[in-house]
Amino acid sequence: MTEAKFLVFLSAALLLAVAPGPGMLYVLSRSLAGGKREGIFSALGTFGGGMVHVVAAAAGVSIILARSAVAFATVKYAGAAYLCFIGLRMMLEAHKRNETLDVPAISRRPFWQGMATEVLNPKTALFFLSFIPQFVDHRSGHLFLQFVALGTISVVLNTSADLVVILLAGPLGEKIRSSQKFRRRQRRLTGTIMLGLGIYMARSEAN
């Protein structure tokens, strides 16, 4: 991967990491209910769940991509189309007037529930299957290791964002939960990023 392409990946992964999703909302609810300790355990759980998706996706996708350049291009363009779809949907959802905020129910085991929250979220699997292959270099080999390395960076950034949420659980939590305007702006920005990334990747040369 070129330096410029890695910077695109890092920037996109960082911006997407700060977008509130089910995992972040779970960590937030844990922190507000049980304090920083429970918040940290829940964040470690979502980290573990994210890595399950990364390894599972890497194992399946790397086998397909290693077989032919055609398969690689197919996955790449399908992933770019899915990123555009996600971006458009988020931008449309930003205009909903009555947006509800669903927070996962809390159990007594923050780590395991955090992992389950992430593992059982099919959107996480689809995201990794569409996002990571855009940055894998088919010609350099070691596809599994490339996928895992990039996926790990993405998950670490997600967890880092969760830890910031834990530290700022009071004011930030109130902002996320109560301000529909804040969430609309966040969805609009993230949707624009996803759409732009999908178009950029669709137009770029397949590796």
Q: How far apart are CA 24 and CA 82, in angstroms?
A: 22
Q: How many CB atoms lie within 10 A of CB 175?
A: 12
Indicate the pTM of the whole model.
Answer: 0.67
CA-to-CA separations, 50 to 68, 84, 158, 178, in angstroms, rounded:
28, 22, 9, 27
Q: What is the domain extent for residue 17?
A: 3-203
**What is the total count of domains within the chain?**
1
What is the pLDDT tens value at each position of the chain, 207 positions in all? 678 888 888 988 888 788 777 677 778 777 776 778 888 998 999 999 899 889 988 887 666 655 666 766 676 677 677 768 867 877 777 666 555 545 445 556 888 888 887 887 766 777 787 788 888 877 777 888 888 999 999 999 999 999 988 888 766 666 655 566 766 776 677 677 667 767 766 666 544
**CA-based nearest residue to 14, from 202, 199, 200, 156:** 156
Looking at residue 8, its pLDDT comes to 84
Looking at residue 115, its pLDDT comes to 86
Residue 63 tokens read as 């086998």
CA-to-CA separations, 29 to 55, 56, 107, 125, 166, in angstroms, rounded:
27, 28, 11, 23, 9
Cβ burial, residue 150 (10 Å; 0-12/13-18/19+): buried
The percentage of the chain sitting over the pLDDT mark of 90, rounded to a whole number, equals: 11
Q: CB-side exposure of 113: number of CA atoms within 13 Å?
A: 20
